[in-house]
């Protein structure tokens, strides 16, 4: 079935979201809204601050632009043999501990190259603790993961394959498995000139595949920015002006990637999933432990601390890397904890000035957006996505000896 920008259950979510915000949203007092009228919404929207001043923001940030060609690192040049090998390995379940999990298990091309879960599914017996990001256009990023913990696709793939909550694979065992698969022995030979499969080359091949094929740069926005002035609708263009002006999004979502690749605390509400799911709770506490959080914080902390894990500076708590925005209609739910199911919820969140957190970024403030303006922003976000990138699951080569 073709996937649509508006998912069948979007409306249910919108209804829920409207109810949620009407009841005070993320526990925030409805500041300045006065006594609520019984039936119609209070007429105080106009009294709210009117967002950002477009003239103040103009020229201060890297301008929005079409995506260039993908960068290729000098130590891992692109070749057709590597791309082919990497495509197989992306779908290869025998890279995981229990041979059940491949990259595609959590980054399914048919589910936006994520897994459509709020909190990602985890290795059997575990749950993940963050939302599974789309892999589309990851090849452009210098900082990967919600907390920016990895700095190359190769390093990222290593932690995905060996991480206890993801692949839980053991490099030496993986090499032995691949060496028992004649087609892989041949393909590693052709791609890298080696006589047997090597784990670091697994990472290089997967990264090459992501750079070559998991790219989307044909969106209406990209075409518009390359000169096709009819590519974007009037509404999307109004949304673009809001994005760069009144709504202030450009302060962080800027340049060709629509990300400053910097870290900000938006006060994203904690997903109630953590209260309902012991596995997610275990994963959260486990992460605190393995990332060396001091004991007093470990005991008290009940939320993802983001950039803090890397810097151990308290002011970095709750800061996450600004995500690029190119594939949103396909890569819901949104935010590091998948707490928002639809883009309308994200826009409402920003319209309120973000969430409730003492460390919240001073760049966020109530925006006073009208319903039409919110719709225009959603149109703009949709215009950033090209057509859906579907890749057929390849047939995986067999072991040399017959499997039982």
Residue ranges binding ligand HEC (CB under 6 A) = 101, 103, 105-107, 120-123, 128, 130, 132-133, 135, 138, 141, 144-147, 153, 156-157, 160-161, 166-167, 206, 247-249, 251-253, 264, 266, 268, 320, 322-323, 325, 328, 331, 334-336, 343, 346, 350, 361, 363-364, 377, 381
Per the listing, tokens 């149109």 go with: 379
- Round to whole Å and give the CA distance between 41 and 45: 9
- CB closer to ligand HEC out of 204 and 264: 264
- CB closer to ligand HEC out of 37 and 108: 108
- CB closer to ligand HEC out of 176 and 195: 176
**3 closest CA partner among 392, 394, 387:** 387
- CB closer to ligand HEC out of 120 and 317: 120
CB of 115 to ligand HEC, least distance (A): 7
CB of 270 to ligand HEC, least distance (A): 10
Per the CB < 8 A criterion, the answer to whether 236 and 222 are in contact is no
Q: Which residues contact 324 (CB under 8 A, 6 or more apart)?
A: 137, 140, 141, 253, 257, 258, 259
- CB closer to ligand HEC out of 119 and 225: 119
**337 closest CA partner among 67, 135, 129:** 129
CB of 128 to ligand HEC, least distance (A): 4
* 347, two tokens: 């826009």
- CB closer to ligand HEC out of 154 and 402: 154
CB of 157 to ligand HEC, least distance (A): 4
Q: Which residues contact 2 (CB under 8 A, 6 or more apart)?
A: none
CB of 46 to ligand HEC, least distance (A): 19
Q: Which residues contact 320 (CB under 8 A, 6 or more apart)?
A: 146, 147, 263, 264, 265, 266, 268, 306, 307, 336
- CB closer to ligand HEC out of 185 and 346: 346
- Round to whole Å and give the CA distance between 197 and 393: 22
CB of 301 to ligand HEC, least distance (A): 16
Per the CB < 8 A criterion, the answer to whether 290 and 279 are in contact is no
CB of 333 to ligand HEC, least distance (A): 7
């Amino acid at each position: 079935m073709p996937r649509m920008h508006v998912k069948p259950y979007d409306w249910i979510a919108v209804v829920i979201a409207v109810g949620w915000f009407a009841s005070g949203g993320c526990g925030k007092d409805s500041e300045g809204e006065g006594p609520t009228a019984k039936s119609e919404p209070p007429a105080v929207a106009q009294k709210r601050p009117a967002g950002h001043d477009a003239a103040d923001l103009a020229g201060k940030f890297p301008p929005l632009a079409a995506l260039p060609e993908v960068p290729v690192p000098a130590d891992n040049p692109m070749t057709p043999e590597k791309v082919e090998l990497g495509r197989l390995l992306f779908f290869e379940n025998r890279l995981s501990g229990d041979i059940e999990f491949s990259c595609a298990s959590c980054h399914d091309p048919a589910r936006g190259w994520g897994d459509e879960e709020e909190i990602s599914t985890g290795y059997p017996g575990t749950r993940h603790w963050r939302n599974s990001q789309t892999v589309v256009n990851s090849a452009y990023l210098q900082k990967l993961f919600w907390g920016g913990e990895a700095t190359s696709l190769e390093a990222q793939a290593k932690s995905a394959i060996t991480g206890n909550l993801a692949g839980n694979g053991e490099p030496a065992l993986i090499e032995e498995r691949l060496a028992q698969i004649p087609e892989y022995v041949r393909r590693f030979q052709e791609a890298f000139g080696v006589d047997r499969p090597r784990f670091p080359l697994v990472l290089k091949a997967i990264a090459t595949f992501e750079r070559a094929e998991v790219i989307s740069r044909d969106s209406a926005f990209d075409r518009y920015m390359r000169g096709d002035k009819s590519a974007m609708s009037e509404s999307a263009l109004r949304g673009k002006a809001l994005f760069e002006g009144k709504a202030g999004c450009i302060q962080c979502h800027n340049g060709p990637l629509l990300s400053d690749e910097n870290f900000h605390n938006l006060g994203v509400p904690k997903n109630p999933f953590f209260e309902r799911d012991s596995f997610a709770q275990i994963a959260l506490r486990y992460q605190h432990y393995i990332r060396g959080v001091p004991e007093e914080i470990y005991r008290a902390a009940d939320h993802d601390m983001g950039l803090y894990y890397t810097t151990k500076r308290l002011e970095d708590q709750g800061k996450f890397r600004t995500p690029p925005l190119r594939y949103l209609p396909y890569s819901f739910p949104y935010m590091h904890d998948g707490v928002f199911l639809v883009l309308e919820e994200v826009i409402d969140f920003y319209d309120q000035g973000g969430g409730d957190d003492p460390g919240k970024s001073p760049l966020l403030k109530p925006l006073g957006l009208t319903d039409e303006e919110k719709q225009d922003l959603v149109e703009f976000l949709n215009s950033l996505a090209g057509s859906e990138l579907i890749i057929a699951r390849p047939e995986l080569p067999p072991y040399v000896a017959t499997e039982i």
